[in-house]
Structure 1
Amino acid sequence: MSDGPVPFESFMDDALYGPDGFYTRGGAAGRRGDFLTSPEVGPLFGAVVARYLDSVWERIGRPSEFAVVDVGAGPGTLARSVLAAVPRCAAALRYVAVDVSAAQRERHPDGVESRAEVPDGPLDGVVLANELLDNLPFRMAVFDGAWREAFVEIERGGSFVERLSAPFDPVPATLPARATHGARAPLVDRAARWVDDARGRLRSGSVLAVDYAVPMTAELAGRPWREWLRTYRGNERGSHPLRDVGAQDITTDIPLDQLPEPDAVRSQTQFLSLHGIDDLVEEGRRIWRERAAAPDLAVMRMRSRVSESEALLDPAGLGSFVVAEWRVDAAAGSGSPRSADLPSDP
């Protein structure tokens, strides 16, 4: 990183993805990693995602090649679960696991196309982003009587300190006109560009993002900033984001009003219910009852679906994640009619 002040976005980019960055040095999801995402809970999440993929494949006319581009795939945990579920689209499936880390790509399973970058379009299929957008570097706005941008500088002793710019002119439209002194909010320009780019690579299909998210930027500006700007290390909350640089993850809640408007927004609980998690859990119970006397590994996996579902649907945990979908219709060349409000049921 440059010795002079750089935007928080540039600092975060270097802290996560630079030569000595967190992900470059091996930071990863998993029970033995630094944070836990839904695919690491067990294979049930991937089995439900497989059902969702089938629904998109049917919606766009069962193309002979159906691309699923899993961006930020890590070691390929979600890919393994989706392939093991043997979706109806399996014969047409081209599963592309994308991760910038060479160490993570080495762990990708057989049966996937492992890449460092998203493939060019046009594609018919789904671009998946499971807890990716929260890791894309963002700018930081700080209010001290006026909204200013946060910059980061290295002091002579090697520590990182924050500096503030002159007031924004103009002020980004999503920021509230007034806020308490010291209020902060993320400006997720890179996440918005990522969604636009992903949609642009599709001829037909959907972009699906699962992440921490809120409807409005003003909500984050009104909350203590350490609630939505989080760091993780060793499956525990980390330190201040300007400390332990390169040794911890940095994430944010995503304000949806800064992204292209989704066609559908649901909680993870609603999304999983819509795509059959209850049926899969009941199937697991039935198979366990029938074969509990002489269980093999497959039967034990069926039994684990009950505890996995409890974790995935927990309204105080993973179940509260937001699932946003942007649809691309080949005939119209754009998204379908929009319903971005959180529904009361799936």
Structure 2
Amino acid sequence: MSEWCGWREATERALYGPDGFYTRSGGPGPAGHFRTSVHVSPRYADAVATLLRRVDTALGHPDELAVVDVGAGRGELLTGVLAALPDEVGARVRPYAVERAARPEGLDPRIEWRDGLPAPGSLTGLLFANEWLDNVPVDVVETDADGVPRRVLVRADGTERLGEPVDGADAEWLRRWWTPPLGPYEPAPGATAAPGGTASGPTLATPDHVPAPAPGLRAEIGRPRDAAWARAVRTLRAGLAVAADYAHDRADRPLFGTLTGFREGREVRPVPDGSCDITAHVALDACAGPSAELLSQRAALHALGVSGRRPPLALASTDPAAYVRALSSAGAAAELTDPAGLGGFGWLLQPVGEACRGLLTP
């Protein structure tokens, strides 16, 4: 790819093309480049299994209970969830892994491996998307010297330049969901320039002006993620859909965007040549539909029984091996719930139907 194109198109090729980062055969898969909550500890899969059991109870123990892992990697989360379920529930569970990469060898034969979502309205149960939306490709915009948001164009070597101004539905999304707003700037009627400023700059001298964005601000246009999440939720006839991801909300959008890359455990410059993961934080509040609930991973996991509380010291005297196991488990739980790390991730819970509302309410 030597030509210029938007980041959304470039990322699609780099991640999911014929020799993309996620689709190429062989290698360690995503786990060889970065750790997700799934890889930190089996307690994460245990928590998802607990949530699945709550969904099962809320739905009245259906004869077939679906669990859909969107962005399944190598199937690690589903493998852990199935291992954590009691036999009575496991016998009714139908697990689906949605992933564009080929099915890994040795995967539990009960897991149905798919490269796309099941049909809309076809399943009853839990849909879980762990760090999936951050890899749904999006376009990037940057404000020019006049504060006008323009699409950022990129080549395969990562070189960038500014393209055309943002317009249409993308501009409307920016106006609605990004603060400071990065929609096309129009001075207020009758605005005049303050000393040292211009009518297109950020220092207009009228009480009702709308300041133009400063030059160099960046944002990711989340409309493709909104659409992808809405399609995922529609898979369910009844149940609960959950997205867990790097996230920010409208009141705290980053001024310079979050687009980045990962390779071999390190954060690197995002280069859309297939050599690294390309990711950006998710505006989960824009994805949320009616009756959705937004909370931190720390709060969600606490509600599912995951705690980093250390075991009582007395256990070290009576059962040293059990104490060491409990201490290790507490350490992993602390990492999963650390508010400055994985615990600061966002969880978006979207019930489908009335039965699965409030399943994480204390």
Q: TM-score range by the shorter chain?
A: 0.7 to 0.9
Contact 1:100 1:116 in 2 (8 A): yes
Query: In structure 2, how many angstroms separate the alpha carbons of the residues matched to 1:281 and 1:46?
Result: 19
Tell me the secondary structure at the aligned position of residue 164 of structure 2: strand
Query: In structure 2, how many angstroms separate the alpha carbons of the residues matched to 1:143 and 1:111?
Result: 50
Structure-2 residue corresponding to 1:270? 299
Q: Which protein has the larger Cα radius of gyration, Structure 1 or Structure 2?
A: 2
Give the C-alpha shift of residue 273 in structure 1. Answer: 0.6
Query: In structure 2, how many angstroms separate the alpha carbons of the residues matched to 1:291 and 1:57?
Result: 38
Residues 110 and 19 from structure 1, CA distance in 2 versus in 1: closer, same or farther, beyond 3 angstroms? Answer: same
Structure-2 residue corresponding to 1:89? 89
Tell me the secondary structure at the aligned position of residue 332 of structure 2: helix
Structure-2 residue corresponding to 1:54? 53
Structure-1 residue corresponding to 2:162? 164
Give the C-alpha shift of residue 294 in structure 1. Answer: 6.8
Query: In structure 1, how many angstroms separate the alpha carbons of the residues matched to 2:55 and 2:134?
Result: 25
Query: In structure 2, how many angstroms separate the alpha carbons of the residues matched to 1:111 and 1:289?
Result: 40
Give the C-alpha shift of residue 182 in structure 1. Answer: 1.1
Contact 2:284 2:346 in 1 (8 A): no
Give the C-alpha shift of residue 9 in structure 1. Answer: 0.2
Residues 189-208 of structure 1: CA deviation (Å, up to 9, x unaligned): 22111111112121101110
Query: In structure 1, how many angstroms separate the alpha carbons of the residues matched to 2:354 and 2:236?
Result: 8
Tell me the secondary structure at the aligned position of residue 288 of structure 2: coil
Give the C-alpha shift of residue 116 in structure 1. Answer: 2.1
Query: In structure 2, how many angstroms separate the alpha carbons of the residues matched to 1:110 and 1:301?
Result: 30
Question: What RMSD over aligned residues (CA atoms) do the two structures have, in Å?
Answer: 3.0
- The 5 A counterparts of 1:122-201 are 122-144=122-144, 145-153=147-155, 159-170=157-168, 171-172=171-172, 173=175, 174-175=177-178, 176-177=181-182, 178-201=212-235
Query: In structure 1, how many angstroms separate the alpha carbons of the residues matched to 2:73 and 2:309?
Result: 26
Query: In structure 1, how many angstroms separate the alpha carbons of the residues matched to 2:54 and 2:13?
Result: 39
Query: In structure 2, how many angstroms separate the alpha carbons of the residues matched to 1:67 and 1:47?
Result: 17
Letter in 1 for 2:264: G
Tell me the secondary structure at the aligned position of residue 277 of structure 1: coil
Contact 2:96 2:112 in 1 (8 A): yes
Q: Which has the higher strand share?
A: 1
- Between Structure 1 and Structure 2, how many residues are aligned? 318
Q: Does 1:35 find its partner at 2:37?
A: no
Tell me the secondary structure at the aligned position of residue 105 of structure 1: coil
Task: Name stretches of at least 5 consecutive residues in structure 2 with no aligned partner.
Answer: 183-211
Give the C-alpha shift of residue 312 in structure 1. Answer: 0.5
Residues 294 and 256 from structure 1, CA distance in 2 versus in 1: closer, same or farther, beyond 3 angstroms? Answer: closer
Tell me the secondary structure at the aligned position of residue 23 of structure 1: coil
Query: In structure 2, how many angstroms separate the alpha carbons of the residues matched to 1:187 and 1:305?
Result: 39
Query: In structure 2, how many angstroms separate the alpha carbons of the residues matched to 1:230 and 1:268?
Result: 22
Residues 290 and 131 from structure 1, CA distance in 2 versus in 1: closer, same or farther, beyond 3 angstroms? Answer: farther
Contact 1:29 1:37 in 2 (8 A): no
Query: In structure 1, how many angstroms separate the alpha carbons of the residues matched to 2:348 and 2:33?
Result: 25
Query: In structure 2, how many angstroms separate the alpha carbons of the residues matched to 1:127 and 1:24?
Result: 22
Tell me the secondary structure at the aligned position of residue 141 of structure 1: strand
Out of 217, 223, 235, which is 2:255 matched to? Answer: 223
Residues 121-147 of structure 1: CA deviation (Å, up to 9, x unaligned): 421011110000001101112111211
Task: Name stretches of at least 5 consecutive residues in structure 1 with no aligned partner.
Answer: 338-342
Give the C-alpha shift of residue 237 in structure 1. Answer: 0.8
Residues 133 and 81 from structure 1, CA distance in 2 versus in 1: closer, same or farther, beyond 3 angstroms? Answer: same
Tell me the secondary structure at the aligned position of residue 80 of structure 2: helix
Contact 1:230 1:250 in 2 (8 A): yes
Contact 2:288 2:348 in 1 (8 A): no
Query: In structure 2, how many angstroms separate the alpha carbons of the residues matched to 1:75 and 1:291?
Result: 40
Letter in 1 for 2:153: F
Contact 2:22 2:30 in 1 (8 A): no
Letter in 2 for 1:167: P
- The 5 A counterparts of 1:285-300 are 292=319
Letter in 2 for 1:126: L
Q: Does 1:258 find its partner at 2:286?
A: yes
Give the C-alpha shift of residue 153 in structure 1. Answer: 3.9
TM-score, with normalisation over the residues of structure 2? 0.78
Query: In structure 1, how many angstroms separate the alpha carbons of the residues matched to 2:155 and 2:286?
Result: 27
Tell me the secondary structure at the aligned position of residue 67 of structure 2: strand
